[in-house]
Amino acid sequence: MAYGVVRRADKLRRSIVSVTLAIMLTLPAAAEVRLAALGDSLTQGYGLNEGEGLVPQLEAFLREAGQAVTVLNAGVSGDTTAGGLSRLDWTLGDNPDAMLVILGGNDLLRGIDPAASRANLDAILTRLGDEGVPAMLVGLPAPGNFGPEFRDAFRAMYTDLAEAHGVPLYPDLLAPLTEAQAQGGGRVDRLLQDDRIHPNAEGVAEIVAGLGPVVAEWLAGLETEQGS
Q: What is the pLDDT of residues 202-212, one digit of tens each?
A: 999 999 999 99
Distant-in-sequence, close-in-space partners of 78: CB < 8 Å, separation ≥ 6: 40, 41, 106
Q: In this structure, are residues 207 and 174 in contact, taking their beta carbons and an 8 Å threshold?
A: yes
Determine if the pTM surpasses 0.95.
no
**Nearest residue to 176 (alpha-carbon basis) of 64, 57, 77, 49:** 57
The helix/strand/coil state of 33 is strand
* Amino acid code (one letter) for 133: V
What is the residue-averaged pLDDT of the chain? Answer: 88
Predicted confidence band at 11 (pLDDT cuts at 50, 70, 90)?
low
Question: What domains does the chain contain, in order, with CATH numbers?
Answer: 33-227 (3.40.50.1110)
Q: What is the pLDDT of residues 91-140, one digit of tens each?
A: 999 999 999 999 999 999 999 999 999 999 999 999 999 999 999 999 99
Q: In this structure, are residues 70 and 35 in contact, taking their beta carbons and an 8 Å threshold?
A: yes
